[in-house]
Amino acid sequence: MEQPALAQRPWTARQLILPVAAAAGVVACLVAVIIAARQTGGGGAPPEPGPMAMPAGAGYAAFTVERAEAGRLAVSGGTGASELALPPGTRVWVLEPAAPGDIRPGMQAAVIGVPNEVRNATIRAIVVGEGGTGGATAGPFAGHEALGEAAALPLVTGRVERVEAGRMVLATAAGEAAVWFAEGAPLFAARERTSEAIGPGDRVGVLLDAAGQPDPAAGLLVLPGE
């Protein structure tokens, strides 16, 4: 059966970080993805599950761009820094709206969500990219760093094995995981651009150095604003 195409909706930083009063109105959009994971290995009854454990990630901060100039960004939020200096050659990845047809085998993917106390999660974004260091989705980034929501974490990560019948199948550390797409799923492709693509209202994710300070030289992950 032919699967309906994913609607091309311009998800932005403002749309992803919504006030509590509007949460009920976006649940239908956020619950647009069903993840089915199958662990490979021996048979027998599975062990009783414990509390949901989240993977440890690199320290990062998310800032809102107030002004973009050559070699620097005036920002707010994050660690309180008011300016990010961009060394020459700073690498930039932009989270751009995507469709399932944009996904290819060999790409790296991450399902970003906010876990809760009942071993469930609200999906915030699905990010695909060309891969990076240590299994990252793009460069050094997993994909959640620009969302500006501390509780949003990569719940499932892996290499895309195939895309078929409205889903992508990932090879993860626990086995295969199938990610099903529904209309309106917040799917993004992390594509490498230049710093000229950054403008006011964008949200940028920056890794922190050993001293806890933003390190733009490691790269920037950008979620475009409105």
Residue bearing tokens 């700073």: 90
Cα–Cα dist 16/26, whole Å:
9
CB-CB contact of 116 with 124 (8 Å): no
Cα–Cα dist 98/191, whole Å:
10
Structure confidence by residue, pLDDT tens digits, 9-52:
444 444 443 333 333 333 334 334 445 544 444 455 544 444 44
Cα–Cα dist 28/24, whole Å:
8
Select from 82, 37, 46 the least CA-distant residue to 64. 82
Cα–Cα dist 43/94, whole Å:
42
pLDDT tens by residue, the chain, 226 residues: 433 443 444 444 444 433 333 333 333 343 344 455 444 444 555 444 444 444 445 699 999 999 999 899 999 998 888 999 999 999 999 999 999 999 999 999 999 999 887 778 889 999 999 999 888 999 999 999 999 999 999 999 999 999 998 899 999 999 999 999 988 899 999 999 999 999 999 999 999 999 999 999 999 999 999 7
Output the CA torsion sign for 213, 218, 219, 222: negative
CB-CB contact of 167 with 181 (8 Å): yes
Structure confidence by residue, pLDDT tens digits, 70-88:
899 999 998 888 999 999 9
Q: Compute CA 59 distance to the chain's CA centroid, rounded to the nearest angstrom.
A: 15
In this structure, what token pair is assigned to residue 44?
């027998």
Residue at 183: amino acid letter: E
**Alpha-carbon distances, residue 108 vs 16, 81, 91, 134 (angstroms):** 22, 31, 18, 11
Q: How far apart are the first and last CA of the chain?
A: 36
